[in-house]
Amino acid sequence: MNLVGKIFVVLILVMSLVFMGFAVAVYATHKNWMEAVNRPEAGEGKPLGLKPQLARAQALEKQLREELDALKNETKSLEIDRQASLKSLQSTLDSLRQEHDALQNSEAALKQSERQAVLATQNAQRMLDRALAEIDTLRTNIFEAYAERDKTFKDSVALTDKLIEKESEVDRLKANKIGLLARVTAYKMAAEKQGVDINATPGNVAIPLDGIVLASRSNGLVEISLGSDDGVQRGHEAFISRNQGGESKFVAKIEIVKTTPDKSVGKVIPSYRKGPVERGDRVVTKLP
């Protein structure tokens, strides 16, 4: 055998080994797809078949869809309950608003009744004064009647009856006055319990507060330490005083024109100005 033949023999041997390696590799990597698809259970390092996996996935999907539908129904039920709750709350709110309006109307009616009671008391006082004056006149007439001994007994009886009638009217007026005074006193006590001054101008009522002057400007504006958090509002009035020689001296009266939570600005009312306002002066919203 020559050299070429030997080379071919070696090449054939090498190629045989290569193809044998390919065959071994193909066999080693061969997969039974039918088994991989239909394998009913996982085991020996092999996963569950694709078809059972698909069935499980479909069953899981069905279960999740059912849960989703249940959640949708529950959400719908909760939304219905929420709408019902909102309607109930709205109804309650409307009822509270109506009650608030009724209380405001009642307050206005009480104030009107109080004003009418004051007027009635004044009228009763005037009537009482007139009745007392008339009684004085009647008494004078009685004294004159006693002085005139020539008057008949009939005239004396008539005058006596008239006197008794007028005194009865006076007693009735006095009783009405006492009742009206009691009602006015009750209204005043109720107003004081609420911190309301019945003699104050409407819209200018302020609770008693005490502060100091923070700054005084040449244009008549005064900055004070009381603000909206303390109950001060625009239009309220305040009084400024200064302690001199152990006595409190009235300095000026101001009207609030601007408020912030912790301080306010007021304008000095010229007709009530008794002197220059200085930093550190005392400020009160209601005189003692």
pLDDT grade, residue 261 (50/70/90)?
very high
Which tokens sit at 78? 């909760």
192 and 227 part of one domain: no
pLDDT value of position 76:
92
Residue type, position 185, single letter: T
Mean pLDDT of 103-125: 90
271 and 141 part of one domain: no
In a domain, 28, yes or no: no
CA dist., res. 172 & res. 128, Å (int): 10
Q: Catalogue the E-assigned strands of 69-110.
A: none
In a domain, 271, yes or no: yes
Q: Above 90 in pLDDT, residue 13?
A: no
pLDDT value of position 202:
44
86 and 51 part of one domain: yes
* Greatest mean pLDDT range, 22-26, 127-131, 144-148, 171-175: 127-131
pLDDT grade, residue 20 (50/70/90)?
confident
243 and 179 part of one domain: no
In a domain, 205, yes or no: no
Mean pLDDT of 262-267: 95
Alpha-carbon torsion 134, 137, 141, 142, what sign? positive
Q: Above 50 in pLDDT, residue 205?
A: no
- The range of the structural domain enclosing residue 266 comes to 210-284
For the chain, the residue count is 288
Q: Above 70 in pLDDT, residue 189?
A: no
Higher pLDDT residue, 28 or 164? 164
119: number of CA atoms within 13 Å, CB side? 6
CA dist., res. 179 & res. 181, Å (int): 5
Task: Name the domain count of the chain.
Answer: 2
148 and 51 part of one domain: yes
